[in-house]
């Protein structure tokens, strides 16, 4: 892992197969050093962020479930009585964890 300094904040990143992966927690610490998780929670529920994640998944994940993802995208920023925000974040987090495992396994196979 390597770090760069941006406006006095160390931002960690790792390079895998010529691609850089940055630590969003380090970036969030710029806005709120004591509770970066709150910044990340706001980013994740932002509709633009969710659309970006969907585009990335569509381009890089052959197993991407567009229909299930559309439910998250359409609910972004809104309260849904049927699916609490914490439940939605938990489901989205589990999807992202599985995608990172796929990415890591594909990277490991190439090296």
pTM attached to this predicted model: 0.51
The sheet with strand 2-6 has its strands ordered as 2-6, 9-16, 19-22
Task: Report d(CA 44, CA 89) in Å as an integer.
Answer: 8
Q: What string of DSSP letters covers 52-95? A: HHHHHHHHH-TT--HHHHHHHHHHTTS--SSS-HHHHHHHHHHH
How far, in Å, are 19, 34, 40, 58, 73 from residue 88 at the CA level? Answer: 29, 24, 14, 20, 11
Six token digits for residue 105: 């396994």
5 pairs with which residues across the strands?
Answer: 10
SS3 50: helix
Residue 6 has pLDDT above 50, yes or no: yes
Task: Please state the rounded mean pLDDT for residues 68-84.
Answer: 66
Phi/psi of residue 79, each to 5°?
-85, 130
End-to-end CA distance of the chain: 17
pLDDT for residue 34: 93
Task: Please state the rounded mean pLDDT for residues 32-56.
Answer: 85
């Amino acid at each position: 892992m390597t770090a760069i300094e941006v406006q006095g904040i160390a931002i960690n990143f790792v390079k895998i197969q010529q691609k850089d992966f940055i630590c969003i927690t380090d970036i969030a610490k710029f806005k709120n050093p004591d509770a970066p998780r709150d910044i990340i929670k706001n980013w994740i529920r932002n509709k633009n962020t969710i659309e970006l994640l969907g585009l990335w998944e569509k381009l890089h994940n052959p197993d991407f479930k567009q229909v299930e993802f559309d439910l998250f995208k359409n609910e972004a920023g809104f309260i849904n009585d049927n699916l609490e925000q914490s439940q939605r974040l938990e489901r989205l987090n589990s999807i992202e964890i599985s995608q990172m495992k796929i990415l890591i396994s594909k990277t490991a196979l190439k090296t």
